[in-house]
Each structure stands twice: as C-alpha cells, then as structure tokens.
C-alpha cells in the first residue's frame, strides 16, 4: 500500500456523507493527506421532457434545455456553498482540502477519476442495498468500486461510534497467493500508521469446514512470508462468514474490518461468492478493501 497522501470522498452532502468526511479527516490528520470532496450532480432530464413534441411512437423526446440548464446551475451553486463550508471546516483543522463537482459520473468513471488524480484512498458510505441517495453510486456500484478501484476503499453503512483505529480485523482464507500476501502487507502498513493491533481472522463455516490445526498452520505459514508484529490469530466458528465477522468484531470491540480482493479469483474461489461485497452490504463495521496490486 502506498502512503496515503490524497483521500477522495464522494459526497451527496447528507449527514452520512458528512460522517465520511469526518472519517477521512481523522485519517488525513494521521497521514498529512489532502482531502478531495467529489460531488456528482445528476440531471434527471426525463423530468424536463416536452411530451407535446411526440408525434409517433418512435419520435425522439425534446427537452426544455433552458429550464434544465437553470436547474443544474442552481443546484451547482447551492452545492458549491455547502462544499466550501466543509472545506473551510477542514482547513480550520489544518487539513488541505478542495472540492470537485462532476456531472452524471458512472461508477467506472469514479475509478478513472481516482487513478487520474493519484488518489491513495477512497472513503465512502453506502446505504447497503439502497446505495448513495441522489447519485448514481448505488450499492452494486459501491461494491464494484471496492473491487475495481486502483486504491484501497474504506466504506461503511452505519456511522462509526468512533473514528479511532486501534483494532483491525483482517479476514481471509490465508492461502499463500498474491492476493493474501499483498493484502496482509497492505493492512500491516495501514495499521502501522495508527499503531493498531491486527486480528487475523479465519471464519470456519459448515460449508467450508477446516480443522483448527489446519487453519492455524495456514496462517502461520503466510506469516513466515509476511511478518506481522502486533497481531493475534483467531479461528471463529459461525454459520456464515459475514455473521462470524460481525460477531467476532463485536466481541473484541473492533474499529475496522479489512479484506483483500481480486475479482472472483484467489479468496473468492474458495468461498464461491464475493465476501467483500457481502461485507460492504451487511457488516456492522467500516470495511477497508485492498485490491491486488496492478
């Protein structure tokens, strides 16, 4: 993981988005990073269609572009006021910050924006299956962003009770592949910034049962390749991985859950579905995802 020098926060200017800004501010103060607020204006052009122009079933719609332009400009001006207020708040905390207003940005374009602007970390909230209101960043898009982004993504669906990061749960299958090796390296680097303890967690489920001795041996084997000083090994039994993660994180009062991803290979070959995306939708704790390095 590269040093965090620039943090992107997609915002719809709601209270939950404000929590994402506060979370990013906590990290920025620890890393001396710049924060970039990205607000995406969405033009619902169908609301401005002139239906009187339709003469046949396949005739194109005409739009009252004057009204549409006026509405967009008004929304942009209102957004700029709110964004600048947030920027001023961040600057009072000694944080370098700026905002960028985009228009009808799709999920894959957020990926491109992050890569083009040398973003090191994305911090975002999600409404689980409902997505981010007022934008085109719906839950599925948030999941895909976490999977495909060129940098780590920190997402949450509930406002954290604290932004302090002292206990990190790193969940994995711990097989020795590049995804797990690089993921363990990345979470170790991230944890060192906050002097946080890493709880290495394997969730044993009925569908993918392993003996405790076998699971511990896997973890110890990978730790031979990626030494981690401040860590504990845990084998936890539960019906599902997400249920086990939530239960374990609650028991140790964790601050953050982390996982390494790479499409549907590596970790996902074992569990047959995207655990990271399931965690993003259902985890009671913030989820930090690392993609395999490109």
- DSSP string covering 156-202, please? ESS--S-----EEEEE----SSHHHHHHHHHHHHHHHHHTPEEEEEE
Both tokens of residue 8? 């992107």
Q: Do the domain assignments include residue 162?
A: no
- In angstroms, the CA 1 to CA 12 distance is 28
Identify whether residues 188 and 98 lie together within a single domain: no
Identify whether residues 259 and 137 lie together within a single domain: no
Question: What 3-state DSSP class applies to 155?
Answer: strand
Q: Do the domain assignments include residue 53?
A: no
Identify whether residues 208 and 287 lie together within a single domain: yes
Identify whether residues 16 and 139 lie together within a single domain: yes
Identify whether residues 213 and 266 lie together within a single domain: yes
Identify whether residues 188 and 135 lie together within a single domain: no
Identify whether residues 214 and 267 lie together within a single domain: yes
b/e code 87-107 from CB counts within 10 Å (16+ = b): beebeeeebebebeeeeebeb
Question: What 3-state DSSP class applies to 257?
Answer: strand
What are the tens digits of pLDDT across the range 57-114? 554 445 556 776 777 788 889 999 999 999 999 999 999 999 999 876 665 678 888 9
Label residue 136 by pLDDT band (50, 70, 90). Answer: very low
- Position 261 scores a pLDDT of 81
Q: Edge-to-edge, what's the strand order for the sheet holding 287-291?
A: 97-103, 34-41, 6-10, 121-125, 153-156, 287-291, 256-261, 167-171, 197-204, 231-237
Q: What percent of the chain has pLDDT over 90?
A: 52
Identify whether residues 285 and 252 lie together within a single domain: yes
What are the tens digits of pLDDT across the range 216-263? 999 999 999 998 989 999 999 999 999 999 999 999 999 999 998 865
Among residues 156, 178, 209, which one ends one of the domains?
Answer: 156
Please say if the pLDDT value at position 265 is more than 50.
no
Sign of the Cα torsion 234, 239, 242, 247 reads negative
- Position 131 scores a pLDDT of 45
Whole-model pTM: value is 0.85
Identify whether residues 142 and 241 lie together within a single domain: no
Q: Length of the chain, please?
A: 294
- Position 142 scores a pLDDT of 66
- Position 12 scores a pLDDT of 86
- In angstroms, the CA 245 to CA 201 distance is 8
Angle at CA of residue 160, ends 291 and 287, nearest 5°: 15
Q: How many domains does the chain have?
A: 2
Please give the residue range of the domain that contains residue 19.
6-43+73-156
Q: Confirm if 259 and 287 have CB atoms less than 8 A apart.
A: yes
The CATH number covering residue 278 comes to 3.40.50.620
Beta bridge partners of 164: none
Identify whether residues 35 and 142 lie together within a single domain: yes
Among residues 97, 125, 156, which one ends one of the domains?
Answer: 156
Among residues 97, 126, 156, which one ends one of the domains?
Answer: 156
Q: Confirm if 122 and 147 have CB atoms less than 8 A apart.
A: no
Identify whether residues 25 and 152 lie together within a single domain: yes
Identify whether residues 14 and 140 lie together within a single domain: yes
């Amino acid at each position: 993981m590269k040093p965090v020098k620039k943090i992107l926060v997609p915002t719809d200017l709601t209270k939950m988005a404000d929590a994402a800004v506060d979370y990013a501010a906590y990290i920025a103060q620890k890393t001396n990073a710049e924060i970039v607020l990205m607000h995406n204006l969405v033009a619902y052009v169908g609301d401005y269609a002139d239906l009187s122009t339709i003469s046949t079933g396949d005739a194109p719609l005409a739009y009252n572009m004057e009204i549409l332009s006026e509405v967009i400009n008004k929304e942009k001006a209102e957004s700029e006021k709110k964004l600048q207020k947030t920027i001023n708040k961040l600057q009072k905390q000694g944080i370098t910050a700026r905002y960028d207003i985009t228009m009808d940005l799709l999920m894959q374009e957020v990926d491109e924006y992050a890569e083009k602007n040398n973003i090191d970390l994305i911090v975002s909230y999600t409404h689980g299956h409902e997505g981010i209101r007022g934008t085109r960043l719906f839950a599925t898009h948030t999941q895909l962003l976490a999977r495909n982004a060129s940098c780590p993504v920190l997402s949450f669906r509930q406002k954290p009770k604290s932004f302090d990061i002292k206990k990190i749960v790193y969940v994995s299958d711990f097989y020795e592949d590049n995804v797990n090796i690089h993921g363990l390296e990345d979470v170790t680097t991230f944890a060192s910034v906050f002097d946080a303890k890493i709880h290495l967690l394997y969730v044993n489920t009925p569908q993918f049962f392993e003996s405790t001795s076998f699971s511990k041996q896997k973890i110890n084997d990978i730790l031979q390749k990626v030494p981690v000083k401040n860590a504990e090994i845990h084998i936890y039994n539960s019906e599902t991985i997400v249920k086990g993660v939530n239960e374990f994180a609650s028991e140790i009062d964790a601050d953050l859950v982390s996982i390494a991803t790479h499409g549907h290979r590596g970790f996902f070959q074992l569990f047959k579905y995207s655990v990271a995306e399931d965690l993003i939708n259902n985890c009671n704790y913030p989820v930090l995802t690392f993609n395999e390095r490109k």
